[in-house]
Amino acid sequence: MELNYQMVKNNQKINGFIRATEKYIIELGYTDHGFRHLTIVADRAKKLARELGLTAKEQELAAVAGYCHDLGNFMGRDMHHYWSALLLSQILLPHIEQTADLAKVLQAIVNHDNNNLETNNAVAAVLVIADKSDVHRSRVKQKSLRKIKEDIHDRVNYAVNDNDLLINRQTKEITLKLTINTNWVDPLAYFQIFIERMTACQKAAKVFGYKFVLIINNFRF
C-alpha cells in the first residue's frame, strides 16, 4: 500500500494516539497540539511542498508528516518527536512496501522539534516551516482571560488575529505575515519566546535556496 495523507487521516490507531495527546496537552495547560494543529500543519506542509516545486509524492509525504508529527506527545514532551516517529513506524510498517517513503516521513518527524539533523530532506524542511509558523489565537485552549495573560505562550498566541504564510518565487522568500493585537502583547515578546522557531524556519528555507521573512503588523524583520 502506498503511503498517503488520506491513509493516515483514516487510521484509527493514529487518531487514537492524537486523542491521547490532546487529553495530555490539555492536562498540562499547553497550546493546541491536537487535530486542529495537525490538520493545519499537514495542509500547510502540502501547500508549501507544491508551491516550492516538490513532486506529487513528496507533497503527500509532507502532509503525512504534518498530520503525524505530534502524535507521541502523550508519552512525554521532551522526546515527543522520537515517540511520534516510533509509534508511526509500528503502525505503518505492516501495511506499506516503500520503506524509503516512510523513512523520509520519520526523519522529518524526528527533525521537526529542533531542526538539528543537518539533512537536506525537503519533506523535513517544509514540516519545520509549517509547524513553527502555526501561531494563532485559536491554538489557545485556556478559557480564562486572566490565566491567558499570565502565560507568555498563551498570551502571544492569543494576540495573533491573522496568520498567512506566503511564497514569492521571484524574490525567493517564504514570508510569515502576522497581525498582532498589541493590547495583548508587544511584538518583541513574540521574539522572546519564538526566536528558536524562527531560526529553525530560516534554516529550513535555505534547503530550497529561499529566505525566511517575518512580518508583524506590516513591519518586516
Which tens digits make up the pLDDT trace of 100-134?
999 999 999 999 987 777 889 999 999 999 999 99
Distance of alpha carbon 158 from alpha carbon 143, whole angstroms: 11
Amino acid letter for position 78: D
Distance of alpha carbon 156 from alpha carbon 192, whole angstroms: 10
Q: Is the dihedral of CA 117, 122, 123, 129 positive or negative?
A: positive
- Taking the whole predicted model, whether its pTM rises above 0.85 is answered as yes
Position 192 confidence tier, pLDDT thresholds 50, 70, 90: confident
Domains of the chain, by residue range, sit at 5-220
pLDDT reported for residue 186: 84
With 80 as the cut, is the pLDDT of residue 198 above it? yes
pLDDT reported for residue 193: 80
Q: Which CATH architecture has domain 5-220?
A: Orthogonal Bundle (1.10)
With 90 as the cut, is the pLDDT of residue 60 above it? yes
Q: Give the closest residue to 113 by CA, choosing from 88, 85, 135.
A: 85
pLDDT reported for residue 97: 83
Distance of alpha carbon 161 from alpha carbon 159, whole angstroms: 6
Position 174 confidence tier, pLDDT thresholds 50, 70, 90: very high
**Helix ranges, the chain (H):** 5-9, 12-28, 35-51, 56-68, 80-92, 99-111, 122-132, 145-150, 152-159, 187-206
Instruction: Quote the crossing angle between the two packed helices 35-51 and 12-28, to the nearest 10°.
Output: 120
CB atoms within 10 A of CB 185: 20
Q: What percent of the chain has pLDDT over 90?
A: 81
pLDDT reported for residue 189: 79
What is the SS3 assignment for 168? strand
pLDDT reported for residue 187: 79
- Taking CA atoms, 21 is separated from 31, 69, 77, in Å, by 12, 11, 10
Amino acid letter for position 90: Q
